[in-house]
Structure 1
Amino acid sequence: MPVNRNALIRYRTIDSCLQNRRRKWTLDDLIDACADALYEFQGIDTGVSRRTIQGDIEMMRSNKLGYEAPIVVVDKKYYTYSDKNYSITNIPLNDQDMQVLGEVANLLQQFKGFNHFADLNEMVSKLEDKIYTQKTHSTPVIDFEKNDNLKGLEYIEVIRKAIVAKKTICITYQSFKAREASAFCFSPYLLKEYRNRWFVLGRTHQRNNLLLNLALDRIQAITDDNEDYIENKDIDLAAYYSNVIGVTKSPKQRDVEVVFWIDSANAPYVITKPLHHTQKLLSEDATGKIFSIRVIMNFELERELLGFGAKLRVLGPRILVKQIKDQLKKTLGQYEGATPDGQ
């Protein structure tokens, strides 16, 4: 049953009062205590009615919220708990509660490992401990895409702080193509996630302040640096990746209209999960549908299109058609002369 914040504050206040057995609590005392609590936590100074607190007490006594609080009246005047050890905060969780908490824990677990979510990590750990102590063994009903072996996540918070503070950092970096690592000063602008990999966009302080997109899993070390930060004055970071599938692009690169056909059996997948937010349906017939998207031509685009195999055919632009054909020829060449067992 949904409960608003003000009601929860009143329930907790009444509970705290009734646990304090060093004094006797009249209805007026409980009204005053709840009014003080609402003013302290919510800034509400209109007071609380007698009827509201009487209703709260009955709600706490009931099972509607799972409390079933043993609230009794002594001497026809004073409210207290018949069980001195009772508190609404000590109520054991039922099976439904445990199922919901388990699902929430699984969801929050996706953020563990990110330094930026240090407080969240602690909260998840507490939640997991609560579930464990309640001995739940429910089967997970949500399974998120994740990569537990992903490298570089420890740099997310370092880079985020540098972006916010506009601080230069020194990065030791080795791309997949480089024979050895190199170190350079870098002014970071934007953190970007794509398919469970993280990247940072910024300017190097070498090579005419070239704009670079660095993969965090290729970073070997990050240290602070005293060089002046290079302000971003020419890039709209909110829209920089809007015409891209993936992360690969250069500032002067222009998008093109990519037209492709996909067979009727697989068209529904592209309709329900568009390749890009610019996707449009151009035409259709019994064999399939023709779509267009307006994006930068890059490696990630080719990989996305090639992933459909024979189910998709690129119709334009011509340069992209040629690139896809070349890739398919190379792929076919990998199988020429191969035996069924791959030898």
Structure 2
Amino acid sequence: MAINKQALIRHRIIDNCLSNPQKRYSFEDLLYCINRELQEINGTNGSISTRTLRGDLKYLRSREGGEAPIESYKKDGKSYYRYSDPNFKLYNQGLNAAEVQQLKTAIETLSKIDGIPQMGWVQELGTKLEETFFLEKSDRLIMSHDSNRYLRGIEHLGQLFHAILNKTPLHVRYQSYKRAKETIFEISPYHLREYNNRWFLFGRNRDYANLTNLALDRILSIEDGNHPYIENEEWDFNAYFEDIVGVSFESDKVEKIRLWFTLSAAPYVTSKPPHGSLRKISNDDTGLIIEIDVIPNFELETLILSYGERTKVLSPESFRNKIKRRVEAMMKNYFDTVS
């Protein structure tokens, strides 16, 4: 006898309950769990009847339903249900209905973030989950992500992801903005990072001891390398970027950068700090003054300049002068006569 999708979901819920040795389930408990889980999965307030549950238990005991060893036992004068074999599991996927729903939500989130490059395994996993757990699909776009869909090099992301995962050495042809000729990197890939809608690969070049940073949009081609993979025993990427804004290091010296912002910019700065080390020095009618502990780099300069006339660097003097020179160069562009 063929059974429908809702019945299969109920059977999995019953199976999860009866195979749980840490909790007792009466008939009423089973009915409550099924109705609660169905409501979470289907998003409706409908409930099944006691007759439906009795039919489900009868079906699961049958040969067609899997001959589940469901038994009724008494405890403290009340009847409960369980599997007589504590190791029995009808559906051996190891997830209960709530966990299935959470996993479904996570997969849907991955598949609905427009602008983040999708890798084939995400869609394949989503399809497999839908087939295994009878999940409903939705075509609504729930989330989106700011992205340049025309960015070069994004096609390499999946290959690099798997190379890092499988510790595969790579032969990379690279065209830097600063050089006329391409460069060959024999690299052991360690980490991928996105900043400002651009992706960067971090790894160990065979010929250098320092960490190499390659922008994906400058990569011309990638092939598996013939050199041995160099294990990463030096860099912890959970902490590697803590002292910078962005992805580049121009020195190893952390400096205290003090910045002033106008009253109109202050709420944006406090709600989206330029760096995690932000300390508020003052916030009054004259504006907001903050201090951050960072290694100055090009990305920090660009971030500060993005605030335009709503900010200025107070200290240190060297960094203040650097930003000042860039502002003066910008002004010169506007005052120069264009023929």
TM-score normalised over the length of structure 1: 0.67
Q: CA 1:57 to 1:177, structure 2 compared with 1: closer, same or farther past 3 Å?
A: closer
- Residue 25 of structure 1 is matched in structure 2 by none
> Secondary structure of 1:113's partner?
coil
Does the CA-based 8 Å contact 1:106-1:142 persist in structure 2?
Answer: no
Q: CA deviation at 1:287?
A: 1.4
Question: Which stretch of the first structure deviates more once superposed, 309-318 or 106-115?
Answer: 106-115
- Residue 211 of structure 1 is matched in structure 2 by 211
- Residue 237 of structure 2 is matched in structure 1 by 237
> Secondary structure of 1:180's partner?
coil
Is 1:184–2:163 an aligned residue pair? no
State the AA in 1 paired with 2:240: Y
Q: Structure 1: how far apart are the matches of 2:36 and 2:127?
A: 32
Cα distance per residue 1:316-341 (max 9 Å; x no partner): 11111111111011101111144xxx
Does the CA-based 8 Å contact 1:60-1:68 persist in structure 2?
Answer: no
List runs of 5+ in structure 1 lacking aligned partners.
1-10, 18-32, 81-99, 133-137
Does the CA-based 8 Å contact 1:163-1:190 persist in structure 2?
Answer: yes
State the AA in 2 paired with 1:171: V
State the AA in 1 paired with 2:27: R
- Residue 294 of structure 2 is matched in structure 1 by 295
- Residue 154 of structure 1 is matched in structure 2 by 155
Is 1:164–2:165 an aligned residue pair? yes
Q: CA deviation at 1:168?
A: 1.5
Q: Structure 2: how far apart are the matches of 1:125 and 1:326?
A: 58
Cα distance per residue 1:181-239 (max 9 Å; x no partner): 22220012211111221111112122x33421111121121111221222333333221
Q: Structure 2: how far apart are the matches of 1:123 and 1:108?
A: 19
Cα distance per residue 1:273-310 (max 9 Å; x no partner): 11100011112331102111111111101000111111
Q: CA deviation at 1:117?
A: 2.9
State the AA in 2 paired with 1:229: Y
Q: CA deviation at 1:152?
A: 2.3
Does the CA-based 8 Å contact 1:171-1:185 persist in structure 2?
Answer: yes
Does the CA-based 8 Å contact 1:60-1:69 persist in structure 2?
Answer: no
Aligned residues: 281
Does the CA-based 8 Å contact 1:59-1:65 persist in structure 2?
Answer: no
Q: Structure 2: how far apart are the matches of 1:225 and 1:61?
A: 51
Q: Structure 1: how far apart are the matches of 2:314 and 2:331?
A: 20
Q: Structure 2: how far apart are the matches of 1:60 and 1:321?
A: 60
Q: CA 1:104 to 1:64, structure 2 compared with 1: closer, same or farther past 3 Å?
A: closer
Q: CA deviation at 1:59?
A: 8.0
Q: Counterparts in 2 of 1:101-140, with a 5 A limit?
A: 107-115=112-120, 117-119=122-124, 122=127, 130-131=137-138
- Residue 27 of structure 2 is matched in structure 1 by 50
Does the CA-based 8 Å contact 1:116-1:157 persist in structure 2?
Answer: no
Question: Which stretch of the first structure deviates more once superposed, 220-229 or 253-262?
Answer: 220-229
Q: Counterparts in 2 of 1:323-334, with a 5 A limit?
A: 323-334=322-333
Does the CA-based 8 Å contact 1:174-1:218 persist in structure 2?
Answer: yes
Does the CA-based 8 Å contact 2:35-2:48 persist in structure 1?
Answer: no
Is 1:65–2:44 an aligned residue pair? yes
Does the CA-based 8 Å contact 2:203-2:212 persist in structure 1?
Answer: yes
Does the CA-based 8 Å contact 1:113-1:153 persist in structure 2?
Answer: no
Q: Structure 2: how far apart are the matches of 1:267 and 1:110?
A: 30
- Residue 200 of structure 2 is matched in structure 1 by 199
List runs of 5+ in structure 2 lacking aligned partners.
1-5, 57-104
Q: Structure 1: how far apart are the matches of 2:23 and 2:46?
A: 27
Does the CA-based 8 Å contact 1:194-1:246 persist in structure 2?
Answer: yes
Q: Structure 1: how far apart are the matches of 2:163 and 2:38?
A: 53
- Residue 284 of structure 1 is matched in structure 2 by 283
Q: CA deviation at 1:249?
A: 0.7
- Residue 85 of structure 2 is matched in structure 1 by none
Q: Structure 2: how far apart are the matches of 1:308 and 1:57?
A: 55
RMSD: 4.0
TM-score normalised over the length of structure 2: 0.68
- Identity, in percent, stands at 29
Does the CA-based 8 Å contact 2:109-2:143 persist in structure 1?
Answer: no
Cα distance per residue 1:70-111 (max 9 Å; x no partner): 9968xxxx849xxxxxxxxxxxxxxxxxxx9xx968744454
> Secondary structure of 1:193's partner?
strand
Q: CA 1:106 to 1:168, structure 2 compared with 1: closer, same or farther past 3 Å?
A: closer
